[in-house]
């Protein structure tokens, strides 16, 4: 007998808090004090500007999954923005977002006068518009893959290599900071303390990546397929993936380039990890798998170190590291799970054990919310670091007596 299951994206519990990831979830006690501009006035779409101390912040790709989360985190984390302006495609221009923000199109006129621009709009948009924002005086934090491997663009994870931000204003720098890929991001947070202690020689990685990493339409496709199959109906031909993703596992996250047996997602893991850890000698093998999970990437990582490191010492290092939560008591079935990481900013690590086939290797299980720490949260953390280091124009860094002038 078919199961009468009605599945709607809004009904999914993506956050472990009782209320789920709703607007109330991100509310802060002083949320009313966080000021935004380009608000609708009296329901007529009139633009008004609110002036106070703080930065002018652009969010490019503001209607997407990560862009909308960036807007929410600006409020949630109380970033000192006097004005926040959402940008998106021409078809979204004029749309009113939560809080009354009005979406603007990208033009030479609308991008002037920003201190900071947060990008999550895809590689082609970043390739064209990130340099224009930078030339107009903004620091750009870009979530696409467009700039990550450029030699003059720092690729930064807040807990791993924040010192790379100090190179932003060196001669010849573009004024762009790159956010790593989501699967790279969570992994290097866990690898950093191990690399500092024992050196990493080789990594063998298998990822199990949520469909939200592909985008909203992939989430909708998973839900539609699940609903159809549970009600004994045929599914529509897949649009987002090569095959059905519901009740399946696809060893095909990303795209295959001509002549390459690895996907671009696997290449990102290899190349970005070496750049962030500052060690081109690390040998890396990766297999990226797409699984029918909405939110939260999981990774099995075999770490071969240059000197021996015990599981007990690894746990100690990981417990002391910023941005990490160790969940590692397998006897009580306590280990990181995607459902528990959803809606949270930490990276979770567990199943820490010695590899019985190698005297200098450990196995780890690493999980994080791919939309938060894997994208939007790290971008906000980088913005906070830029502010704290006095690398943004217009507002004094904490403890500074004068504001830094624009570079």
Helix, strand or coil for residue 205? strand
Tell me whether residue 209 is exposed, middle or buried, using C-beta atoms within 10 angstroms of its C-beta: 0 to 12, 13 to 18, 19 or more. buried
- Examine the pLDDT at 394 and tell me if it is beyond 70: no
What's the pTM value of the predicted model, to 2 decimals?
Answer: 0.83
pLDDT beyond 70 at 406 = no
Q: Which residues contact residue 163 at a Cβ distance below 8 angstroms, ignoring those fewer than 6 apart?
A: none
pLDDT digits (tens, 9 = 90+) for 321-368: 999 999 999 999 999 999 999 999 999 999 999 999 999 999 999 999
Domains along the chain?
34-179+374-388 (3.40.50.720), 183-370 (3.30.360.10)
Query: What mean pLDDT comes out for the span 57-70?
Result: 95
In a 3-state reduction of DSSP, which class is residue 237? Answer: coil
Question: What average pLDDT does the segment 393-406 reach?
Answer: 47
The H or E element spanning position 251 is none
pLDDT at residue 167, as a whole number: 85
What pLDDT is stored for residue 20 in this prediction? 40
Q: Is the pLDDT of residue 82 over 70?
A: yes
Q: How many Cβ atoms sit within 10 Å of the Cβ of residue 233?
A: 11
21, 195, 288, 297: the active-site residue: 297
Measured in whole angstroms, the distance separating CA 349 from the mean position of its chain's CA atoms is 17
User: With 60 as the cut, is the pLDDT of residue 12 above it?
Assistant: no
Are β-strands 297-305 and 361-368 bridged in parallel, bridged antiparallel, or unpaired? antiparallel
Which run of H or E residues covers position 324?
A: strand 324-326
Tell me what the mean pLDDT of segment 263-287 comes to: 97
Residue 24 has pLDDT above 50, yes or no: no
> Which of these is catalytic: 15, 21, 182, 288?
182
Are the C-beta atoms of residues 300 and 19 closer than 8 Å to each other? no
Integer angstrom CA distances of residue 216 from 10, 151, 219, 285, 297: 12, 32, 5, 29, 16
CA distance 62 to 320: 35
Per-residue pLDDT band for 398 (boundaries 50, 70, 90) equals low
Catalytic status, residue 182: yes
**Per-residue pLDDT, 23:** 36
Residues 194 and 200: beta-carbon distance below 8 Å: yes
The residues that bridge with 361 in the sheet, in sequence order, are: 304
Ranges assigned E (strand) in 154-274: 176-178, 200-209
* C-alpha 176: how far from chain center: 16
Q: Are 346 and 337 in contact (CB under 8 A)?
A: no
Question: What whole-number distance in Å separates Cα of residue 77 and Cα of residue 380?
Answer: 8
Supply the mean pLDDT for the chain.
86
| Extended strands (E) in 47-199 | 55-60, 81-87, 116-119, 139-142, 176-178
DSSP-based three-state secondary structure for 374: helix
In the predicted model, is pLDDT for residue 403 greater than 80? no
């Amino acid at each position: 007998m078919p199961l009468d299951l009605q599945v709607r994206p809004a009904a999914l519990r993506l956050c472990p808090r009782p209320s789920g990831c709703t607007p109330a979830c991100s509310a802060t006690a002083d949320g009313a004090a966080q000021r935004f501009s380009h608000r609708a006035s009296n329901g007529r779409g009139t633009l008004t500007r609110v002036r106070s101390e703080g930065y002018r912040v652009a969010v490019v790709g503001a209607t997407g999954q990560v862009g909308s989360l960036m807007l929410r985190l600006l409020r949630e984390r109380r970033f000192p923005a006097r004005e926040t302006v959402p940008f998106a495609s021409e078809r979204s221009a004029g749309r009113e977002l939560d809080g009354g923000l009005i979406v603007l199109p990208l033009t030479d006129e609308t991008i002037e006068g920003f201190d900071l621009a947060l990008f999550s709009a895809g590689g082609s948009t970043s390739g064209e518009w990130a340099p224009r924002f930078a030339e107009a005086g903004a620091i750009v934090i870009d979530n696409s893959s467009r700039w990550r491997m450029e030699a003059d663009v720092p690729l930064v994870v807040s807990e791993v290599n924040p010192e790379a931000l100090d190179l932003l204003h060196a001669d010849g720098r573009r004024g762009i900071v790159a956010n790593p890929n989501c699967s790279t991001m969570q992994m290097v947070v866990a690898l950093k303390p191990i690399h500092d202690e024992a050196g990493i020689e080789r990594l063998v990685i298998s990822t199990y990546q949520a469909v939200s990493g592909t985008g909203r339409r992939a989430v909708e496709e998973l839900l539609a397929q699940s609903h159809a199959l549970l009600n004994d109906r045929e599914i529509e031909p897949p649009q987002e993936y090569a095959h059905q993703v519901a009740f399946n596992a696809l060893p095909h996250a990303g795209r295959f380039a001509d002549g390459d047996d690895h996907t671009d997602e696997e290449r990102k893991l290899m190349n970005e990890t070496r750049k962030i850890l500052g060690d081109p000698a690390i040998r890396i093998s990766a297999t990226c798998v797409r699984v029918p999970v909405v939110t939260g990437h999981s990774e099995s990582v075999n770490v071969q170190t240059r000197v021996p490191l015990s599981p007990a010492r690894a746990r100690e290092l990981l417990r002391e590291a910023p941005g990490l939560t160790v969940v590692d008591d397998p006897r009580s079935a306590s280990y990181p799970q995607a459902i528990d990481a959803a809606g949270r900013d930490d990276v979770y690590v567990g199943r820490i054990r010695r590899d019985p086939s190698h005297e200098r290797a450990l196995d780890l299980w690493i999980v994080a919310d791919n939309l938060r720490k894997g994208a939007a949260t790290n971008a906000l953390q980088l913005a906070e670091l830029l502010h704290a280091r006095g690398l943004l124009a217009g507002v004094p860094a904490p403890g500074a007596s004068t504001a830094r002038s624009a570079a």
